[in-house]
Each structure stands twice: as structure tokens, then as C-alpha cells.
Amino acid sequence: MNSHQLPTGSAYFIAPETAKAESHTLSVLVSNEPGVLARVIGLFSGRGYNIESLTVSETEHEAHLSRITIVTRGTPSVLEQIKAQLERIVPVHRVVDLTVRAQSLGQERPIEREVALIKVVGSGEHRAETLRLADAFQAKVVDATVEHFILEITGKSSKIDQFVAILKPLGLIEICRTGIAAMNRGPQGM
């Protein structure tokens, strides 16, 4: 960094310019209590880190535990810093970089899936083409009238992106996506 350049307000400038930003999926096991999600998100926003995808759900009702899955982007040093800072938040029980774990197991990425609901309005040829494409992409029709369809599709984000792009000219008017849920392969837990 040149002496005349000022920090951008983002932690990304700290890393050497030669380090390449990578997308990683983090799994964070937290106590299911008010304010925990706000603290986790606050850590990201307060330091200028971006969240590309965020999903949260209670996973162990009896133990009052929730799992937060975060997809973020940064250099290896920034990702280590994020993980270390997450581990310091009191109600956080465990932080696992699923991308690093997958690579240590000889895999490129963890298993990642997303669900999307997609509303398409149309008639005639557009309606028939929408149904044909839904079948080809293994999307389910979850609601239908003579004027519209609501389709449900599950898969990798890239599959959903492709499906959405193809449906745009056919009358796509609304999309709702869950964000990524992820897990590593093998018998080992988080």
C-alpha cells in the first residue's frame, strides 16, 4: 500500500496485494438466544466484511443450538481473522471453515444446496415452455393457476442462477431464495 493511499474502511486492504480473495463457507454453531445473529452480523459489518449468503436455523431443539451458514469472500488471512473473531463471541460454540475442511479431505467444496421459489406469469407457448424447463431442471410446481406458476427448485446456486436466467424472458416476476445450506462429506460431524 502506498503511503498516499488511505484505508478504505474495509479489512480487505490489510492483506498483501498478492493474496487472492476466495469464497469460503463457514458453519457456526451458536446458542439459540436473542441477539446472537445480530452480534455475528455486526462482526462482519463492523469490519467491512461482506456476507454473500446467510442461513440460520435451530438444529438441536433440546440443546437450544442453531447453525449459521455464512458464505463470505476474502484472502486466506482475512478468512482466518473472521474465524478467530467469530470464535471470541461468547454464545458461539464452534466455527468450522467447511471449504478448508473439504479441501483437507481431498474435495473441492462442501456439499452446498439452496432452495428457491420462483413465480412465472404467462400463457400459451410461454406456459408450455416454463413447464418443460421445470421438468428439465427437476423443479416442482407448488402452486398454479391459469395465469401463473410457482416453482420450487433445489440445488447448487449455479443451477438456480441458470434456471432463473432461462425463465426471465418467459415471464419471471418474483424470486425468493433461502441462501446456502452446507455440510462436509464423510462420517465426521461439524
**Mean pLDDT in residue range 74-103:** 93
C-beta separation of 185 from 105 below 8 A: yes
For the stretch 140-174, pLDDT in tens is 999 999 999 999 999 999 999 999 999 999 999 99
For the stretch 13-53, pLDDT in tens is 554 456 788 999 999 999 999 999 999 999 998 888 999 99
More confident residue, 78 or 17: 78
**Coil, helix or strand at residue 179:** coil
C-alpha cell at 106: 481431498
- Residue recorded with cell 408450455: 128
22-105 shares its CATH topology with 111-183: yes
Candidate from 13-27, 64-78, 94-108 with smallest mean pLDDT: 13-27
pLDDT at position 19: 77
pLDDT at position 17: 55
Give one DSSP letter per residue of 115-180, joined into a string.
EEEEEEE--THHHHHHHHHHHHTTPEEEEE-SSEEEEEEEE-HHHHHHHHHHHGGGTEEEEEE---
Work out the widest C-alpha separation in the chain, in whole angstroms.
Answer: 64
Q: For domain 111-183, give the CATH superfamily.
A: ACT-like. Chain A, domain 2 (3.30.70.1150)
Pairing verdict, β 65-74 and 22-31? antiparallel
CATH code, 22-105: 3.30.70.260
C-alpha cell at 2: 502506498
**For the chain, which residues make up each domain, given as ranges?**
22-105, 111-183
pLDDT above 70 (res 10): no
C-beta separation of 99 from 183 below 8 A: no
Phi, psi of 141, rounded to the nearest 5 degrees: -85, 115
Phi, psi of 143, rounded to the nearest 5 degrees: -160, 140
pLDDT at position 136: 97
For the stretch 113-143, pLDDT in tens is 999 999 999 888 999 999 999 999 999 999 9
Pairing verdict, β 92-97 and 172-177? unpaired
